[in-house]
Amino acid sequence: MADVKEILQLDFSHAAGSPGSGSDLADQAVAARDQLESRQGPGNDYLGWLDLPLNIAEAELAAVEAAAQEIQAAEALVIVGIGGSYLGARTVLEALRSPFDQQHQHHQQQQQQNLPVYYAGHQMDAGYHAALYKHLAGKRYAVNVISKSGTTTEPGLAFRSLYGDLSARYAAEDLRKLVFATTDASKGSLRKLADEAGLTSFTIADDVGGRYSVLTPVGLLPIAAGGLDIRRLVAGARTMREYLKGSGKDFANNPALQYAAYRNAQYRAGKKIEIMAAYNEGLHYLGEWWKQLYGESEGKNGKGIFPASVDLSTDLHSMGQWMQDGERSIFETVLDVADVAGPIIEKQPNDADGLNYLAGRELNAVNRTALQATLEAHSDGGVPCLRIELNRLDEFTLGALLYMFQYACGVSAYMLGVNPFDQPGVEAYKKNMFRMLGKPGH
């Protein structure tokens, strides 16, 4: 088994103390972990994600890869989904593919890593969707519609338009090469439509909730279609899963338990907001995914840390003032990627810009120095900062990181005394919206 310390490490040296083995909070984290692992806690019918990295069947991976290959024959892919049904895929795709020519940065030998990928139905912005439909007009694009319930309004409306467009232009047989559905095994209107049209479809197991579903076809199909290696992603998650219940079982070696204990310690000390800070452009969506995971899992019964995120050093020029000097109700969790290939700063003969003192250094080293300097400044300013160091960004490390965050979230929510796997609060806006829109029965 790979040593998890070679993938990621937690550094509490700027965190103003973290719960050590044997402390009350460490014991509570261990008890919460035991509750999770023994499947005795609230929401225990939604624990399918826990052993998912060990249980994914070869046949399922092969079916996903075959569908991905069909999608790659199209001119573009549109991923239709919202919340947990799209954030995992977007996180991995944006972390590992170039934002410019959409070429995957790490395994250039793989095919079709430049397949353009677009998103729809993750909101209902008319202008965005009008521009997308205009851009797609006449193109032979593929659609992966993803909705566990199969009834969510935002992706439902986008899919109605896209499917309508493709059905008007392609015969049924061709349509089946372009439209792929990921939904519940039997419930919901999307399942019915997919079955009736004979579309290739994938199933989301009943016991896996949206925000824990990145390693199901919900995440795997669009990630594979984007040209990334889903087997490495699963292998990273599997390595973390095996470590957390094997050689990393004890609190002293367990990053998930330490993270869960630490953030509960901060919360109890009055730090109500956790800010995820990423110094790599591609990690923006990791912040979005992490906010959904922790926000929807913990924010209930009048409790829960508010998860926020910033992109640094960009936001040091906007949110930096607040973080350094504002109300001391925040703590910061910093993602630090050790190895990022990039430019080396050149020496200029006349040093007109005064930057020759940096000549010969890697841009990533300068970025990491900014990170270190900010860690010191923010912790001096009363913001506890945890640094999570990733050795590099690839499918394997991301698989391990995503799994670690999911596991820590389950533990942390149990420490807080809430059910991590339900989201009763998201129904309130829907109820009002359906009434205002005149949906039958509302």
Please give the residue ranges that form the binding site for ligand PA5 (CB under 6 A).
Answer: 82-85, 147-149, 152, 155, 209-211, 296, 423
HSE toward the beta carbon, residue 324, CA cutoff 13 A: 11
**CA-angle at 285, arms to 282 and 286, nearest 5°:** 90
Whether 296 is a known active-site residue: answer yes
Nearer of residues 217 and 227 to ligand PA5, judged by Cβ:
217
Shortest Å distance, C-beta 182 to ligand PA5: 9
Edge-first strand listing for the sheet containing 330-339: 8-14, 385-392, 330-339, 273-278, 306-311
Nearer of residues 155 and 226 to ligand PA5, judged by Cβ:
155
Whether 129 is a known active-site residue: answer no
Shortest Å distance, C-beta 46 to ligand PA5: 9
Nearer of residues 211 and 284 to ligand PA5, judged by Cβ:
211
Q: How far is CA 324 from CA 15, 315, 376, 382, in A?
A: 15, 12, 11, 8
Burial 200-233 (b: 16+ CB within 10 A, else e): bbbbbbeebbbbbbbbbbbbbbbbbbbbbbbbbb
Whether 317 is a known active-site residue: answer yes
Catalytic residue among 94, 154, 274, 296: 296
Nearer of residues 296 and 336 to ligand PA5, judged by Cβ:
296
Shortest Å distance, C-beta 33 to ligand PA5: 22
At 411, list the tokens: 């533990």
Catalytic residue among 192, 303, 347, 430: 430
Q: CA-to-CA distance for 266 and 331, rounded, in angstroms? A: 7
Shortest Å distance, C-beta 205 to ligand PA5: 13
- For residues 390 and 335, the answer to whether their CB atoms sit within 8 Å is yes
Catalytic residue among 134, 317, 327, 427: 317
Cα distance between the two ends of the chain: 54
Nearer of residues 155 and 255 to ligand PA5, judged by Cβ:
155
Shortest Å distance, C-beta 184 to ligand PA5: 8
Shortest Å distance, C-beta 309 to ligand PA5: 17
Give the DSSP H/E element, type plus range, for residue 306.
Answer: strand 306-311
Cis before residue 297, ω within 30 degrees of 0? no
Nearer of residues 18 and 147 to ligand PA5, judged by Cβ:
147
Q: CA-to-CA distance for 185 and 352, rounded, in angstroms? A: 64
Torsions phi, psi of 151, nearest 5? -130, 10
At 422, list the tokens: 């339900």
Residues assigned a catalytic role: 296, 317, 430
